[in-house]
Homo-oligomer: A and B are copies of this chain.
């Protein structure tokens, strides 16, 4: 199973066309055709339906393997490239929108920075493939539980900040001010899902293990103030880290908003140095 063939296969499926995939990869259509034929021949099963071009059932399964495989392959290249190349003066940091808390900002203070804000899901991949040197991902979890990040290679992950999560409510809501409420009771309430501006409800479902928290409104956008306005106006409840929801009516469930650092910071004199690097080398580090 040659990675080149896999990459071609993935590209063909993504673009839905042999010729477009060829153009993207710098091959001729013929070569792409031969790649697919070689793969199908090697695996002994048809992988793509033609006209219209799309994956077969088996092809779809292969995709599930191929995409993480190619990612890890790139990650391996990038990782050793990083060990070889001299560290750059400028630190490139990838952040999910709500990961830029004051704690994180403080950590980054001593560096010359280039900051890129991206979706939560692509931050670990970006660190693995060397798009940036360190990443910060935010998310919601039960206290002391780690975030559930997609694993790509031996990446060190450390929790760097935790703060309570709050539910933003309309001003006159009966729950206003209550702390420690059981989230399960709110599974069937009206929720706003704001994956970019707030905390995705999908994470809540995972964390709570329930099947509720279905959004009655979905908010696409990264504007937190807009989200708060919606929630205060009674369109539904919104989930936010406490620090960004100051001065609005809230309720506090027993959950934390947590930021985890993916990858390692370069060593500078002014930075805290964690000397447990060698013990249990690539494991996940939990605080406390």
A-side interface residues toward B, CB under 8 Å? 1-3, 43-45, 57-58, 61-62, 64-66, 68-69, 72-73, 75-77, 79-81, 83-84, 144, 151, 153-154, 209, 282, 286, 288
**Shortest Cβ distance from residue A150 to the other chain B in the assembled complex, whole angstroms:** 9
In the assembled complex, how far is the CB of residue A39 from the closest CB belonging to chain B, in whole angstroms? 10
Inter-chain contact B84/A76, CB cutoff 8 Å: no
| Complex contacts, A80 vs chain B, CB 8 Å | 43, 45, 58, 61-62, 65
Q: Closest CB of chain B to A145's CB: distance in Å? A: 10
A66–B73 alpha-carbon span in the complex (Å): 9
CB distance from A208 to the nearest CB of B (A): 11
> Chain B residues with Cβ under 8 A from A62's Cβ?
76, 80
Q: Chain copies in the assembly?
A: 2
Interface pair B72/A65, CB less than 8 Å apart = yes
- Interface contacts beyond A43-B80, A43-B84, A66-B76: sample of 7 additional A-B pairs, CB < 8 Å, sorted by A: A3-B3, A43-B77, A45-B80, A58-B84, A61-B83, A144-B209, A209-B288
Residues of B within 8 A of A3 (CB): 1-3
User: Complex Cα distance A58/B1, Å?
Assistant: 26
Q: Is the CB of A65 within 8 A of B69?
A: no
Q: How far is the CA of A73 from the CA of B62 in the complex (A)?
A: 11
- Residue of A45, A80, A144 with most chain B CB atoms under a 10 A cut-off: A80
Report which of B68, B84, B282 forms a contact with A72, defined as CB distance below 8 A. B68
Can you list 9 A-B contacts with CB-CB less than 8 angstroms, sorted by A residue number? Answer: A43-B77, A43-B84, A58-B80, A58-B83, A61-B79, A61-B154, A62-B76, A69-B72, A209-B286
Contact pick for A76, options B44, B65, B286, CB 8 Å: B65
How far is the CB of A37 from the nearest CB of chain B, in Å?
16
Q: Shortest distance in angstroms between A42's beta carbon and chain B's nearest beta carbon?
A: 9
Which of A153, A286, A288 is the most central at the interface, judged by chain B CB atoms within 10 Å of its CB?
A: A153
